[in-house]
Amino acid sequence: MSFDEFYYKKIKKFLVPHAKPEKIIEEISEHLALYKQMILYVLGPLVFFYLGAGIFVGEYSGGAALFALFISFYSSFLPEADLMLRPRGGRRVAKTYQKYLVLFFAPFYLYLVATKKTQPFFLNEHKPFHRAKALFAYSIFLLVFGMILYASLFKASFFALFGAIGYATHLFVDKII
């Protein structure tokens, strides 16, 4: 099954009407090109610094570094989560905290909407996750989540830093920052 067939049979009903397969593929290739450079020039050296600093402070950070790289990659596509929120009002207009819950837990929200366990939210604004305010909120969330996950401020701060770099990469490609 091609991507177009899969899109029209399974995915289209969960996204806004302007989310076409061509647009999605173009967006992904555009972001991957810059993300490759980000890995070479920023994240790669930062991983080595993280591992060295981990040895210096007496914490093993190898697994945490790999997970932080994954979070960075995930975060570089996360601002597109606003495609899951339908524009221009509807039955359930999302409150501010609901929009940020969708941002923080996008895979779970997508699962709940796809399995029809919840109704999708609607928006009164355009692309709410393509803002510096959302970057800041997501970074704070990652710091708190990292503290819960690792119980270490050192690992949690690098976890949040890698996620923020990924998110900021997306905003940079879209010429927002």
Residue 121 in contact with residue 95, Cβ under 8 Å? no
Q: Which pLDDT value is given to residue 177?
A: 83
Three-state SS at 42: helix
CA distance 71 to 118: 26
Q: What percent of the chain has pLDDT over 70?
A: 86
**pTM summary value:** 0.85
Q: Exposure string (b/e) for 25-44, b if CB count within 10 Å is 16 or more?
A: eebeeebeeebeebbeeebe
- 10 occurs within a structural domain: no
Q: Which pLDDT value is given to residue 87?
A: 65
Count the domains in the chain: 1
Q: Which pLDDT value is given to residue 16?
A: 61
- 12 occurs within a structural domain: no
Q: Which pLDDT value is given to residue 77?
A: 87
**Interior angle at CA 133, CA 128 and CA 137, nearest 5:** 100
Q: Which pLDDT value is given to residue 167?
A: 94
Q: Name residue 55's amino acid.
A: I
- Collect the ranges in the chain with pLDDT lower than 50: none
Q: Which pLDDT value is given to residue 120?
A: 77
Q: Which pLDDT value is given to residue 63?
A: 93
pLDDT digits (tens, 9 = 90+) for 18-33: 667 777 777 788 888 8
Q: Which pLDDT value is given to residue 127?
A: 81
- 48 occurs within a structural domain: yes
Q: Which pLDDT value is given to residue 88?
A: 62
Q: Which pLDDT value is given to residue 92?
A: 67
Q: Which pLDDT value is given to residue 102?
A: 87
Q: Name residue 2's amino acid.
A: S
The torsion angles phi and psi of 123, rounded to 5 degrees, stand at -120, 155
- 110 occurs within a structural domain: yes
CA distance 12 to 118: 17
In terms of residue numbers, what domain contains 84?
A: 19-173
Q: Which pLDDT value is given to residue 43?
A: 94
CA distance 163 to 140: 10
- 8 occurs within a structural domain: no
Q: Which pLDDT value is given to residue 98?
A: 85
pLDDT digits (tens, 9 = 90+) for 73-102: 999 988 887 776 766 655 667 788 888 888
- 91 occurs within a structural domain: yes
Q: Which pLDDT value is given to residue 17?
A: 65
- 116 occurs within a structural domain: yes
CA distance 131 to 150: 28
Cα–Cα distances in angstroms (integers) from residue 113 to residues 43, 121, 165, in the given order = 34, 9, 29
Q: Which pLDDT value is given to residue 89?
A: 56
- 2 occurs within a structural domain: no
Residue 115 in contact with residue 162, Cβ under 8 Å? no
CA distance 177 to 170: 9
The torsion angles phi and psi of 90, rounded to 5 degrees, stand at 170, -155
